[in-house]
């Protein structure tokens, strides 16, 4: 889902 | 992964290594705000809750562990080490950082991507990171002069944020679904907070003088 996709940054 | 983000992560790592170097080499933590270090440790602990649940990449996991370990190492060293702790500017580092924690948490409850435990703590860590440098900047303002390593520490932290802003601009134009507006807005606020410090840092570097912040 969208919020997971955006958690690839530190 | 793009070069801006990688450069940002590396300068972030360098900033923490510079701090550890300063403390171990000089056996002193004068000019360093323990409160800022505690806030950063809290930022990493609340942001990386997904460390063991969501595997993104080896790089991502290793860097998360390094950031958590190094930020805790600085806090423990400043609190426990019998020589280092004596040089802590206790009477200068008086910023009421609990307000920063409370404000960030309230804002995270109101503004988050999803009202779930993990998302609220993620948003909390993003807001707190933007404010975490304040006790350090206030301490530098009060102590008047900035020794080289502390100045470089804040400089690398600012560079890390600046690279991340370039990373977000890059991703905005290259990825259709990219929308990290919470991190972008908070990151911009954080970079603005550094701007005045950079101004004085650049002035002192240009005049090749010891950096003096206006009292």
> Which tens digit of pLDDT belongs to each residue from B135-150?
998 998 888 777 888 8
C-beta atoms of B178 and A6 within 8 A = yes
Break chain B into its structural domains and give their ranges: 3-205
Q: How far is B180 from chain A (nearest CA, A)?
A: 6
C-beta atoms of A8 and B64 within 8 A = no
- Which phi-psi region, left, alpha or beta, contains residue B208 (left: φ > 0; alpha: ψ -120 to 50)? left
Q: Is this prediction's ipTM beyond 0.85?
A: no
Using CA of residue B118, residue B124, residue B129, residue B130, what is the dihedral sign? positive
> Which tens digit of pLDDT belongs to each residue from B5-27?
999 999 999 999 999 999 999 99
Using CA of residue B10, residue B11, residue B16, residue B17, what is the dihedral sign? positive
> Which tens digit of pLDDT belongs to each residue from B87-121?
999 999 999 999 999 999 999 999 999 999 999 99
C-beta atoms of B56 and A8 within 8 A = yes
Q: Which residues of B touch A2 (CB under 8 A)?
A: 113, 177, 179
Q: Which residues of A touch B57 (CB under 8 A)?
A: 8
B177 reaches A (C-beta below 8 A): yes
> Which tens digit of pLDDT belongs to each residue from B147-164?
888 889 988 999 999 999
Whether B162 contacts B205, CB under 8 Å: no
């Amino acid at each position: 889902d969208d919020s997971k996709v955006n958690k690839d940054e530190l | 992964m793009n070069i801006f983000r990688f450069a940002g992560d590396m300068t972030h790592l360098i900033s923490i290594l510079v701090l550890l170097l300063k403390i171990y080499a000089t056996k002193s933590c004068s000019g360093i705000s323990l409160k800022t270090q505690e806030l950063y440790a809290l930022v990493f602990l609340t942001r990386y809750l997904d460390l063991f649940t969501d595997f993104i990449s080896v790089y991502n996991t290793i860097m998360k562990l390094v950031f958590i370990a190094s930020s805790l190492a600085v806090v423990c060293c400043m609190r426990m080490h019998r020589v280092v702790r004596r040089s802590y500017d206790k009477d200068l580092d008086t910023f009421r950082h609990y307000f920063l924690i409370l404000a960030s948490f309230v804002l995270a409850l109101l503004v988050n991507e999803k009202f779930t435990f993990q998302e609220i703590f993620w948003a909390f860590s993003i807001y707190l990171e933007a404010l975490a440098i304040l006790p350090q900047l206030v301490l530098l303002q009060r102590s008047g002069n900035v020794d080289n390593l502390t100045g470089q520490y804040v400089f690398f932290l600012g560079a890390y944020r600046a690279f991340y802003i370039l990373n977000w601009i890059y991703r905005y134009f290259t990825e259709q679904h990219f929308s990290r507006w919470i991190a972008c807005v908070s990151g911009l606020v954080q970079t603005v907070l550094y701007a005045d410090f950079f101004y004085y840092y650049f002035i002192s570097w240009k005049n090749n003088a010891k950096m003096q912040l206006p009292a």
